[in-house]
Amino acid sequence: MTRLRLATVRPEEPEIFHSLQGEGISLGRPSVFVRLSGCNLACQWCDTPYTWYFSGHNGLHRGGQTYDRRENAVTLDVTDVARRIAAFDCRHIVFTGGEPLLQQPALAALCDILGPDYHIEIESNGTVALTPGFAPHVDQLNLSPKLRHSGNEDRARLNDSALRLFAADPRAWFKFVIAAPEDAEEVVQLASRYALPADRILLMPEGTSASVLRERSGWLAALCQSHGWRFTDRLHIHLHGDTRGT
């Protein structure tokens, strides 16, 4: 029996839902989202702290609230997960988190059940390289390397070998969360350090309300233009607010 650890919408109900992709190069595309529980980083502005900021965690989050692990995570057999995905009759799948690449053996087993007709998109922080067993299943990588304002130490948020492999992978896109104009300078440094292709770099405003996103989008769009990078909004926030299962 192969099992996945998933986040929940409410206790015992896994966060598997059908919506529009809200970020990145697939923005606006109907997708089935499968949100996994657990993360190897602790971003202080993370918008899904219930996937990792459990009671007793030593990290910091600006919300201050920790979450009960038993109420916010559930473990299911991959056959059950596949059945729930198939019920939506949508062939575009987004594995998100948390950090989904921490559970690659189970994800590979799930993809074996789903079969080749599904387009598999991964949302990852870029610190975990693809394994040989899971890599062939992946069609698109949405990587979000964390900047210093995330609150993570450099040695935790940047995996040199993984990022260089991803930079050479045509499936990979690099999305940076930007809270202030000066954050773009760090993106310039990382792009040079890891040879990230400019046409696969996206900047996204940090924020969990439509008003904050609108305020930051003005100066962020100008930064994208000046550097030849792409801009991505957070469509789901404008449509649904900062809520689970959307």
Residue 134 lies in a domain: yes
Q: What percent of the chain has pLDDT over 70?
A: 100
pLDDT band of residue 59 (cuts 50, 70, 90) is confident
Residue 23 lies in a domain: yes
The DSSP letter of residue 244 is T
Q: How many domains does the chain fold into?
A: 1
Encoded tokens for 88: 């939506």
The DSSP letter of residue 68 is -
Model pLDDT for residues 178-232, shown as the tens digit of each residue: 999 999 999 999 999 999 999 999 999 999 999 999 999 999 999 999 999 999 9
pLDDT at 192: 98
List the Cα angle 223/227/228 in 5-degree steps: 110
> What's the CATH number where 118 sits?
3.20.20
What domain range is 94 assigned to?
Answer: 3-175
Helix %, strand %, coil % of the chain (to 5): 35, 25, 40
Q: How far apart are alpha carbons 146 and 168 in whole angstroms?
A: 19
Residue 56 lies in a domain: yes
pLDDT band of residue 1 (cuts 50, 70, 90) is confident
Model pLDDT for residues 159-181, shown as the tens digit of each residue: 999 999 999 999 999 999 999 99
